[in-house]
Amino acid sequence: MKILLLTIIFCSTQVFSHSKENTSHTPHAHSADAKLVDGKLENLDSDRFDSFVSDLKGHKVAVVSVKGMVCDFCARGIQKTFNKRDEIRKVDVDLDKGKVLLAFTSSATIDFEEIKKTIQSNGQTAVDMEIINI
Amino acid sequence: MGINKILFVIFIVIIVNVDARPVSWTQGSTLMAYSNNLKNSIYYHFSPTYKFSLGLEMVEDKIFDNSYAYFRFTRLLNRKNMQNSQRNLYFRSGVSSKQWASYFFGLQGDWETRRLFAGFNVNLIESGNRDYFNQSYQVGIAPYLGEFGDLHTWIMVKTKRNSVADEWSTFPVIRLFKGDVMLELGYNGETSWDTHLMYRF
Protein backbone atom coordinates (compact mmCIF):
# COMPACT_ATOMS: atom_id res chain seq x y z
CA MET A 1 0.00 0.00 0.00
CA LYS A 2 2.88 2.36 0.83
CA ILE A 3 4.48 1.73 -2.55
CA LEU A 4 1.17 2.25 -4.31
CA LEU A 5 0.62 5.56 -2.55
CA LEU A 6 4.14 6.78 -3.31
CA THR A 7 3.71 5.79 -6.95
CA ILE A 8 0.48 7.77 -7.19
CA ILE A 9 2.12 10.82 -5.62
CA PHE A 10 5.11 10.59 -7.96
CA CYS A 11 2.94 10.18 -11.04
CA SER A 12 0.73 13.06 -9.96
CA THR A 13 3.75 15.33 -9.68
CA GLN A 14 5.05 14.32 -13.10
CA VAL A 15 1.76 14.47 -14.94
CA PHE A 16 0.58 17.72 -13.41
CA SER A 17 3.90 19.49 -13.81
CA HIS A 18 3.04 19.65 -17.52
CA SER A 19 -0.39 21.11 -17.04
CA LYS A 20 -0.53 24.86 -17.41
CA GLU A 21 -3.22 27.13 -16.14
CA ASN A 22 -4.89 29.34 -18.69
CA THR A 23 -3.36 32.79 -18.27
CA SER A 24 -2.49 34.07 -21.69
CA HIS A 25 -5.05 36.72 -22.45
CA THR A 26 -4.35 40.32 -23.23
CA PRO A 27 -5.82 43.11 -21.15
CA HIS A 28 -7.94 45.81 -22.77
CA ALA A 29 -8.33 49.45 -21.88
CA HIS A 30 -11.65 51.27 -22.09
CA SER A 31 -13.21 54.50 -21.04
CA ALA A 32 -16.68 54.82 -19.60
CA ASP A 33 -18.74 57.15 -17.50
CA ALA A 34 -19.03 54.68 -14.68
CA LYS A 35 -21.47 52.71 -16.79
CA LEU A 36 -21.02 49.44 -18.52
CA VAL A 37 -21.03 50.26 -22.19
CA ASP A 38 -18.50 47.79 -23.47
CA GLY A 39 -19.84 44.48 -24.67
CA LYS A 40 -16.96 42.62 -23.09
CA LEU A 41 -18.13 43.70 -19.69
CA GLU A 42 -21.64 42.45 -20.12
CA ASN A 43 -20.88 39.67 -17.68
CA LEU A 44 -20.34 42.20 -14.92
CA ASP A 45 -22.97 42.85 -12.29
CA SER A 46 -23.90 46.42 -13.21
CA ASP A 47 -25.54 47.28 -9.87
CA ARG A 48 -22.52 46.03 -8.02
CA PHE A 49 -20.19 47.95 -10.29
CA ASP A 50 -22.17 51.19 -10.01
CA SER A 51 -22.18 50.87 -6.24
CA PHE A 52 -18.44 50.21 -6.24
CA VAL A 53 -17.61 53.31 -8.31
CA SER A 54 -20.10 55.66 -6.65
CA ASP A 55 -17.35 57.50 -4.76
CA LEU A 56 -14.53 56.99 -7.25
CA LYS A 57 -14.80 59.92 -9.63
CA GLY A 58 -11.46 60.54 -11.30
CA HIS A 59 -10.20 57.05 -10.52
CA LYS A 60 -9.46 54.10 -12.75
CA VAL A 61 -11.07 50.73 -12.15
CA ALA A 62 -9.52 47.49 -13.30
CA VAL A 63 -12.07 44.73 -13.78
CA VAL A 64 -10.13 41.48 -13.64
CA SER A 65 -11.61 38.18 -14.77
CA VAL A 66 -10.43 35.39 -12.51
CA LYS A 67 -10.73 31.63 -12.84
CA GLY A 68 -11.01 29.33 -9.85
CA MET A 69 -12.46 31.94 -7.52
CA VAL A 70 -15.32 29.80 -6.30
CA CYS A 71 -15.14 30.33 -2.58
CA ASP A 72 -15.22 33.38 -0.32
CA PHE A 73 -12.74 31.82 2.07
CA CYS A 74 -10.28 31.24 -0.79
CA ALA A 75 -10.59 34.73 -2.23
CA ARG A 76 -9.73 36.46 1.03
CA GLY A 77 -6.04 36.61 0.17
CA ILE A 78 -6.77 38.59 -2.99
CA GLN A 79 -8.49 41.31 -1.04
CA LYS A 80 -5.85 41.35 1.70
CA THR A 81 -2.93 41.57 -0.70
CA PHE A 82 -4.34 44.31 -2.92
CA ASN A 83 -5.50 46.34 0.07
CA LYS A 84 -1.87 46.68 1.16
CA ARG A 85 -0.99 48.66 -1.96
CA ASP A 86 -0.98 52.44 -1.70
CA GLU A 87 -2.19 53.03 -5.25
CA ILE A 88 -5.27 50.87 -4.73
CA ARG A 89 -8.14 52.55 -2.99
CA LYS A 90 -10.75 49.84 -2.96
CA VAL A 91 -11.13 46.16 -3.72
CA ASP A 92 -14.24 44.13 -4.38
CA VAL A 93 -14.70 40.46 -5.22
CA ASP A 94 -17.67 39.24 -7.22
CA LEU A 95 -17.75 35.50 -6.69
CA ASP A 96 -20.79 35.01 -8.86
CA LYS A 97 -19.24 36.57 -11.97
CA GLY A 98 -15.64 35.66 -11.22
CA LYS A 99 -14.46 39.28 -11.19
CA VAL A 100 -12.12 41.29 -9.00
CA LEU A 101 -12.66 45.06 -9.05
CA LEU A 102 -9.64 47.21 -8.23
CA ALA A 103 -9.94 50.98 -7.88
CA PHE A 104 -6.67 52.75 -8.68
CA THR A 105 -5.74 56.37 -8.19
CA SER A 106 -5.81 58.27 -11.48
CA SER A 107 -2.02 58.54 -11.67
CA ALA A 108 -1.38 54.85 -11.05
CA THR A 109 0.05 52.63 -13.75
CA ILE A 110 -1.97 49.46 -14.04
CA ASP A 111 0.16 46.48 -14.92
CA PHE A 112 -1.81 43.38 -15.78
CA GLU A 113 1.23 41.13 -15.36
CA GLU A 114 1.67 42.39 -11.82
CA ILE A 115 -2.01 41.86 -11.06
CA LYS A 116 -1.83 38.40 -12.53
CA LYS A 117 1.11 37.52 -10.30
CA THR A 118 -0.67 38.78 -7.22
CA ILE A 119 -3.76 36.74 -7.99
CA GLN A 120 -1.61 33.73 -8.81
CA SER A 121 0.06 34.05 -5.41
CA ASN A 122 -3.38 33.57 -3.92
CA GLY A 123 -3.88 30.43 -5.99
CA GLN A 124 -6.30 31.72 -8.64
CA THR A 125 -5.78 32.59 -12.30
CA ALA A 126 -6.36 36.04 -13.78
CA VAL A 127 -7.24 35.69 -17.45
CA ASP A 128 -8.33 39.11 -18.62
CA MET A 129 -8.64 42.71 -17.55
CA GLU A 130 -10.63 45.75 -18.58
CA ILE A 131 -9.68 49.25 -17.42
CA ILE A 132 -12.44 51.79 -16.98
CA ASN A 133 -11.84 55.50 -16.37
CA ILE A 134 -14.48 56.81 -14.02
CA MET B 1 -11.40 -6.47 18.49
CA GLY B 2 -8.50 -6.82 20.95
CA ILE B 3 -7.34 -4.05 23.22
CA ASN B 4 -4.22 -3.45 21.13
CA LYS B 5 -6.26 -3.11 18.01
CA ILE B 6 -8.60 -0.65 19.70
CA LEU B 7 -5.64 1.42 20.87
CA PHE B 8 -4.19 1.47 17.36
CA VAL B 9 -7.51 2.60 15.92
CA ILE B 10 -7.63 5.41 18.45
CA PHE B 11 -4.05 6.32 17.62
CA ILE B 12 -4.59 6.73 13.90
CA VAL B 13 -7.85 8.60 14.35
CA ILE B 14 -6.04 11.03 16.64
CA ILE B 15 -3.25 11.61 14.15
CA VAL B 16 -5.12 12.35 11.00
CA ASN B 17 -7.99 14.64 10.28
CA VAL B 18 -8.85 16.40 7.06
CA ASP B 19 -7.92 20.06 6.84
CA ALA B 20 -10.33 22.19 4.87
CA ARG B 21 -7.53 24.39 3.47
CA PRO B 22 -4.13 22.78 3.98
CA VAL B 23 -2.20 25.52 2.11
CA SER B 24 -2.92 29.23 2.31
CA TRP B 25 -2.04 32.12 0.02
CA THR B 26 1.59 33.28 -0.33
CA GLN B 27 2.85 34.47 3.06
CA GLY B 28 -0.47 33.52 4.61
CA SER B 29 -0.93 31.89 7.99
CA THR B 30 -3.65 29.62 9.28
CA LEU B 31 -4.53 28.73 12.82
CA MET B 32 -6.77 25.76 13.48
CA ALA B 33 -8.30 24.24 16.57
CA TYR B 34 -9.71 20.74 16.46
CA SER B 35 -11.62 18.99 19.17
CA ASN B 36 -13.45 15.70 19.54
CA ASN B 37 -13.82 12.96 22.11
CA LEU B 38 -10.27 11.73 21.44
CA LYS B 39 -8.15 14.85 21.25
CA ASN B 40 -7.79 18.57 21.35
CA SER B 41 -5.27 20.08 18.99
CA ILE B 42 -4.00 23.40 17.77
CA TYR B 43 -2.37 23.52 14.38
CA TYR B 44 -0.56 26.52 12.92
CA HIS B 45 0.78 26.55 9.39
CA PHE B 46 2.54 29.13 7.30
CA SER B 47 2.65 29.17 3.50
CA PRO B 48 5.86 30.69 2.09
CA THR B 49 4.19 30.35 -1.30
CA TYR B 50 0.71 29.21 -2.27
CA LYS B 51 2.25 25.86 -3.22
CA PHE B 52 3.24 24.54 0.20
CA SER B 53 2.85 25.02 3.92
CA LEU B 54 4.93 24.20 6.98
CA GLY B 55 3.21 23.71 10.27
CA LEU B 56 3.25 22.58 13.85
CA GLU B 57 0.37 20.74 15.46
CA MET B 58 0.17 20.47 19.23
CA VAL B 59 -1.94 17.54 20.29
CA GLU B 60 -3.54 16.84 23.66
CA ASP B 61 -4.38 13.18 23.63
CA LYS B 62 -7.47 12.55 25.76
CA ILE B 63 -7.20 8.79 25.62
CA PHE B 64 -3.58 8.35 26.67
CA ASP B 65 -3.57 11.57 28.67
CA ASN B 66 -0.39 12.96 27.16
CA SER B 67 0.73 15.62 24.71
CA TYR B 68 2.99 15.74 21.71
CA ALA B 69 3.65 17.73 18.56
CA TYR B 70 3.52 17.01 14.87
CA PHE B 71 5.82 18.76 12.39
CA ARG B 72 3.84 18.97 9.20
CA PHE B 73 4.53 19.65 5.55
CA THR B 74 1.88 19.99 2.85
CA ARG B 75 2.52 20.49 -0.85
CA LEU B 76 0.07 21.53 -3.52
CA LEU B 77 0.70 19.05 -6.31
CA ASN B 78 -1.83 20.41 -8.72
CA ARG B 79 -4.50 23.05 -8.95
CA LYS B 80 -6.81 23.50 -11.88
CA ASN B 81 -8.68 26.79 -11.97
CA MET B 82 -11.73 26.78 -14.19
CA GLN B 83 -14.34 29.45 -14.74
CA ASN B 84 -16.77 27.93 -12.28
CA SER B 85 -14.71 25.42 -10.35
CA GLN B 86 -11.40 24.68 -8.71
CA ARG B 87 -9.69 21.33 -8.29
CA ASN B 88 -6.80 20.66 -5.90
CA LEU B 89 -4.47 17.82 -5.11
CA TYR B 90 -2.17 17.96 -2.09
CA PHE B 91 0.57 15.84 -0.61
CA ARG B 92 0.36 15.82 3.20
CA SER B 93 2.90 14.60 5.70
CA GLY B 94 3.84 14.81 9.34
CA VAL B 95 6.45 13.56 11.77
CA SER B 96 5.82 13.14 15.48
CA SER B 97 8.02 14.86 18.05
CA LYS B 98 7.50 11.97 20.39
CA GLN B 99 8.75 9.22 18.21
CA TRP B 100 10.61 9.89 14.96
CA ALA B 101 9.58 6.50 13.62
CA SER B 102 5.99 7.73 13.73
CA TYR B 103 4.90 9.65 10.70
CA PHE B 104 2.18 9.84 8.11
CA PHE B 105 1.91 10.85 4.49
CA GLY B 106 -0.84 10.84 1.94
CA LEU B 107 -2.93 12.63 -0.62
CA GLN B 108 -5.81 15.01 -0.21
CA GLY B 109 -7.93 16.23 -3.09
CA ASP B 110 -10.98 18.33 -3.61
CA TRP B 111 -13.13 19.75 -6.34
CA GLU B 112 -15.59 22.52 -5.75
CA THR B 113 -17.91 24.95 -7.41
CA ARG B 114 -19.86 27.61 -5.62
CA ARG B 115 -22.63 25.05 -5.12
CA LEU B 116 -20.96 21.63 -4.87
CA PHE B 117 -18.01 20.14 -3.05
CA ALA B 118 -16.33 16.75 -3.23
CA GLY B 119 -13.14 15.78 -1.46
CA PHE B 120 -11.05 12.83 -0.39
CA ASN B 121 -8.15 12.14 1.91
CA VAL B 122 -5.98 9.01 1.98
CA ASN B 123 -3.12 8.56 4.40
CA LEU B 124 -0.60 5.95 5.30
CA ILE B 125 0.42 6.05 8.92
CA GLU B 126 3.56 4.42 10.21
CA SER B 127 3.78 3.88 13.94
CA GLY B 128 6.62 1.74 15.16
CA ASN B 129 6.47 -1.43 13.16
CA ARG B 130 2.94 -1.11 11.91
CA ASP B 131 1.36 0.52 8.88
CA TYR B 132 -2.20 1.76 8.70
CA PHE B 133 -4.29 3.08 5.88
CA ASN B 134 -6.83 5.77 6.56
CA GLN B 135 -9.27 7.17 4.02
CA SER B 136 -12.14 9.61 4.06
CA TYR B 137 -14.51 11.09 1.49
CA GLN B 138 -16.69 14.13 1.79
CA VAL B 139 -19.41 15.62 -0.41
CA GLY B 140 -21.35 18.78 0.19
CA ILE B 141 -23.83 21.25 -1.17
CA ALA B 142 -24.30 24.94 -0.46
CA PRO B 143 -28.01 25.52 0.16
CA TYR B 144 -27.67 29.14 -0.97
CA LEU B 145 -24.98 31.18 -2.75
CA GLY B 146 -23.72 34.03 -0.63
CA GLU B 147 -21.86 37.11 -1.77
CA PHE B 148 -18.30 37.92 -0.78
CA GLY B 149 -18.38 38.73 2.93
CA ASP B 150 -21.65 36.93 3.68
CA LEU B 151 -22.04 33.95 5.95
CA HIS B 152 -21.53 30.86 3.78
CA THR B 153 -22.98 27.47 4.65
CA TRP B 154 -22.22 23.98 3.44
CA ILE B 155 -24.16 20.86 4.32
CA MET B 156 -21.96 17.82 3.95
CA VAL B 157 -21.70 14.11 4.44
CA LYS B 158 -18.42 12.53 5.40
CA THR B 159 -17.51 8.87 5.38
CA LYS B 160 -14.28 7.39 6.62
CA ARG B 161 -12.57 4.10 7.15
CA ASN B 162 -9.24 2.85 8.45
CA SER B 163 -7.56 -0.45 7.75
CA VAL B 164 -7.38 -1.48 11.40
CA ALA B 165 -11.02 -1.12 12.38
CA ASP B 166 -12.09 -2.05 8.86
CA GLU B 167 -15.37 -0.25 9.36
CA TRP B 168 -16.95 2.67 7.56
CA SER B 169 -18.26 5.54 9.61
CA THR B 170 -20.59 8.04 7.95
CA PHE B 171 -21.90 11.22 9.50
CA PRO B 172 -23.24 14.69 8.65
CA VAL B 173 -21.09 17.80 8.75
CA ILE B 174 -22.03 21.45 8.61
CA ARG B 175 -19.42 23.97 7.49
CA LEU B 176 -19.89 27.68 8.11
CA PHE B 177 -17.55 30.46 7.14
CA LYS B 178 -17.57 34.21 7.17
CA GLY B 179 -14.61 36.43 6.49
CA ASP B 180 -11.45 34.80 7.77
CA VAL B 181 -13.15 32.36 10.11
CA MET B 182 -14.48 28.89 9.39
CA LEU B 183 -16.31 26.54 11.72
CA GLU B 184 -17.00 22.91 10.88
CA LEU B 185 -19.19 20.70 13.03
CA GLY B 186 -19.63 17.01 12.54
CA TYR B 187 -21.77 14.68 14.56
CA ASN B 188 -21.20 11.00 14.80
CA GLY B 189 -23.56 8.96 16.97
CA GLU B 190 -20.67 6.85 18.24
CA THR B 191 -18.06 9.51 18.87
CA SER B 192 -20.20 12.58 19.47
CA TRP B 193 -19.12 16.01 18.16
CA ASP B 194 -16.16 16.87 15.98
CA THR B 195 -15.39 20.58 16.05
CA HIS B 196 -12.98 22.28 13.72
CA LEU B 197 -12.30 26.01 13.91
CA MET B 198 -10.04 27.82 11.46
CA TYR B 199 -8.73 31.36 11.19
CA ARG B 200 -6.65 32.59 8.25
CA PHE B 201 -4.52 35.70 8.36
> Which range among A2-16, A38-52, B87-101 shows the weakest confidence by mean pLDDT?
A2-16
pLDDT of residue A103: 95
Instruction: Tell if the CB–CB gap between B131 and A2 is shorter than 8 Å.
Output: yes
pLDDT of residue B17: 56
A→B contacts (Cβ < 8 Å), by residue, are 1-2, 5, 8-9, 12-13, 16, 19, 21-22, 67-81, 92-96, 98, 120-125
pLDDT of residue A21: 39
What is the C-alpha separation between A85 and B12, in angstroms, rounded? Answer: 45
Q: In Å, what is the CA distance from B90 to each residue of A103, B9, B24, B184?
A: 34, 24, 12, 20
Average pLDDT over residues A91-98: 93
State the CATH class of domain A22-133: alpha beta
pLDDT of residue A123: 94
Instruction: Tell if the CB–CB gap between B200 and A67 is shorter than 8 Å.
Output: no
Number of domains into which chain B is organized? 1
CB neighbourhood size of B48 (10 A):
11
Residues in chain B, how many?
Answer: 201
To the nearest 10 degrees (0 to 180), the angle between helices A72-83 and A112-120 is 130
What is the C-alpha separation between A25 and A57, in angstroms, rounded? Answer: 28
Residues of B in contact with A2 (CB under 8 A): 124, 126, 131
Instruction: Tell if the CB–CB gap between B146 and A68 is shorter than 8 Å.
Output: no
pLDDT of residue B27: 93
**A2, A8, A21 member nearest B81 (Cβ):** A21
pLDDT of residue A45: 83
**B78, B107, B147 member nearest A16 (Cβ):** B78
Instruction: Tell if the CB–CB gap between A19 and B150 is shorter than 8 Å.
Output: no
pLDDT of residue A34: 43
Instruction: Tell if the CB–CB gap between A72 and B113 is shorter than 8 Å.
Output: no
B177 to chain A, closest Cα gap in Å: 7
pLDDT tens by residue, chain B, 201 residues:
565 555 555 444 444 455 667 899 999 999 999 998 778 999 999 999 999 999 999 988 777 777 889 899 999 999 999 999 999 999 999 998 877 668 889 999 999 999 999 999 999 988 766 788 889 999 999 999 999 999 999 999 999 887 777 788 889 999 999 999 999 999 887 767 889 999 999
Instruction: Tell if the CB–CB gap between B24 and A77 is shorter than 8 Å.
Output: yes
The DSSP bridge pattern shows strands B39-49 and B28-35 to be: antiparallel
Q: Which residues of A105-117 are buried (b: 16+ CB within 10 A; e: fewer)?
A: eeebebebeebbe
pLDDT greater than 70 at residue A73: yes
Please spell the DSSP secondary structure of A54-113, one letter per residue: TT-TT-EEEEEEEES---HHHHHHHHHHHHT-TTEEEEEEETTTTEEEEEEPTT----HH
The DSSP bridge pattern shows strands B192-200 and B28-35 to be: antiparallel
Nearest residue in chain B measured CA to CA from A80: B201
What is the C-alpha separation between A75 and B25, in angstroms, rounded? Answer: 9
pLDDT of residue A6: 58
What is the C-alpha separation between A125 and A112, in angstroms, rounded? Answer: 12
- CB pairs < 8 Å spanning A and B: 111
β-partners of residue B155 are B141, B174
β-partners of residue A24 are none
What is the C-alpha separation between B187 and B36, in angstroms, rounded? Answer: 10
Q: How confident is the model at residue A37 (pLDDT cuts 50, 70, 90)?
A: very low
Q: What is the CATH number of the domain that holds B120?
A: 2.40.160.40
pLDDT of residue B150: 95
pLDDT of residue B110: 96
Range of the structural domain that residue B16 is part of: 3-200
